Amino acid sequence: MAFIELNFELIPRRAAFNAAMRRAIAAGMEEALDDPIKTAAVEGSPIRRGTNRRSIDFDVDKAKLTGRLFTQSGYGGYLEVGTSRMAPRPYMVPAVERNKGAIARAIKRHLR
């Protein structure tokens, strides 16, 4: 399984503030990972049969404030980084890089 992991850490201060931030971060990550990040990864995934595209998904661990974009095709990692016989055809890292601002915007929306 190939995956990219996004992590957030909070500095202990006030419990109410941290609780609101945790909810906003988790909801914002879930929203941004679904669309536009997962969408961009699916659109950028090399096409042959479409198996890798269909296997791209994400999850958010609300307790750890961690979000993961991953593929379960069995060869998605090889497409991303290449092999000794195949050039890399990155699609997950570029999807995150192009849309990393979407995470901050989604978190900000959930803080209001």
Q: What is the pLDDT of residues 16-38, one digit of tens each?
A: 777 888 899 999 999 999 999 99
**CA 104 vs CA 5, 20, 30, 55, 91: distances in Å:** 16, 15, 12, 26, 21
In the 8-state DSSP scheme, what is residue 48? S
**Domains contained in the chain, number:** 1
The torsion of the CA quartet 22, 24, 29, 35, rounded to 10 degrees, works out to 160
Q: What is the pTM of this model?
A: 0.81
Say what the pLDDT of residue 17 is: 75
Residue 42, domain extent: 2-111
- CB atoms closer than 10 angstroms to residue 95: 24
Residue 11 vs residue 52, higher pLDDT:
52
